[in-house]
A and B are shown apart, each in its own frame.
Chain A
């Protein structure tokens, strides 16, 4: 087999995605994707874990790219894996604005709700998912995630962020109880799905997946940043009621809007702290202008946090 046309795709700031064509001895040619993390990033997860996760997701009928090959320490590559190339668009602003994606926008709320329901039905006890982080027995996932991000913020941010402190004070006494633990994708939104003009083709970017409260994914999808300037609250695509109903119809459990609201507020806090992490990666020596600029996006989430908290105690 030979590799041709190796090209780096524009991806998130914390990962590398390379497209190439594999030419087989029998003359077959197929487009494939190599996924790896550059060294030195604050956000790190195991590529072998992501590979195994994608196999379990495929078995649960979640639309995902088929995974092909994985190496924890491939020579010269570090931790990496290869999967099928899925054609389509991932750039959220195009998907939410360009006329050709009108049919996709009409179909996506129900498609995203159904795929999320299948993610939340994935078998937690599958051996391949033992690597996922999960809350300690008896600790509500919301309390565990809140404590985890508070620790992260204390560890990486020497500069004061009063809006985040107000959010921690607001969220802690309102931690929702959890009725069930599921796989949580962890970054489920437009931008992390591959979409054709007809609709959803694949769910990607599984590096933040963990075990927790399924409502975390629903709240995350409502975070203002993931509307990319479009007015509708759920990913810029639809009203909350439509998404909640579609999720319930697709087999997800009944949704309590107040619980989703807690996770939406937490989601803004989490994404705000993640921008601090990205800036910290830059300050730690990873020279990348996009990482550098993310440090100045923190205030977007701070403003949204204040507005959400003022909406009612």
Chain B
């Protein structure tokens, strides 16, 4: 356990320095990269803030999809990440084998993939996710 400020509080301080102070002293390519850097720090803040819960939800969905025993969910975050990586790899193999082309499994796979992508976007680019919800792609042209 480290002292305050916490990792999140420190990240926010650096991001605010970039956004409110440094960016205004730069131009061109360096200004652009400073803005990208500030954006990346904001992303990391959002990821750290909700990571444990997000990983838990993703594992639970995969457990449902693969009918695993919920009590086998790894407790340590590193083990949970590794388990999710393995299960998503198994999912990819089943999609490649054509098992998610149609039918009940296909519907359940799409629901899981969609939720996982929305959870990634909530960290990576919440504005994009909001805009997408307001103006969804209908798929029809």
Chain A residues packing against B (C-beta within 8 Å) = 7-10, 159-163, 165-166, 168-169, 224, 229, 231, 240, 257-258, 260-261, 264, 289-290, 292-293, 296-297, 299-300, 302-304, 306-312
Contact = CB atoms under 8 A, between A and B. Distances in A.
A292 B40 CA distance: 9
B46 to A, nearest CB: 11
B85 A160 contact: yes
A127 B117 CA distance: 46
9 contacts: A159-B85, A162-B109, A163-B117, A258-B141, A289-B33, A289-B40, A293-B43, A303-B114, A307-B137
A240 B141 contact: yes
B120 A299 contact: yes
B139 A169 contact: no
Interface of B: 28-29, 32-33, 36-37, 39-40, 43, 85, 88-89, 91-92, 95-96, 98, 100-101, 109-110, 113-114, 116-118, 120-121, 123-125, 128-129, 131-132, 135-141
Contact of B95 (A159, A166, A261): A166
A290 B141 CA distance: 33
Contacts of B100: 166, 169
B47 to A, nearest CB: 9
Given A10-B28, A290-B33, A293-B43, 12 more contacts: A7-B28, A9-B28, A10-B29, A162-B95, A166-B113, A229-B131, A231-B135, A303-B114, A303-B129, A306-B110, A308-B139, A312-B140
Contacts, number: 107
Given A166-B113, A229-B131, A299 B124 contact: yes
A169 B89 CA distance: 16
Nearest to B140: A311
A215 to B, nearest CB: 13
A303 B124 contact: no
Contact of A311 (B32, B124, B132, B139): B139
Given A289-B36, A297-B125, A307 B139 contact: yes
Contacts of B132: 303-304, 307
A160 B138 contact: no
B91 A162 contact: yes
Contacts of B89: 160
A306 B92 contact: no
B99 to A, nearest CB: 10
Q: Which 9 A-B residue pairings sit nearest by Cβ, starting from the closest?
A: A311-B139, A307-B137, A299-B120, A160-B88, A165-B95, A10-B29, A160-B92, A296-B124, A160-B89
A208 to B, nearest CB: 22
Contacts of A290: 32-33, 36
Q: Residue among B32, B109, B117 with the most chain A CB within 10 A? A: B117
A259 to B, nearest CB: 11
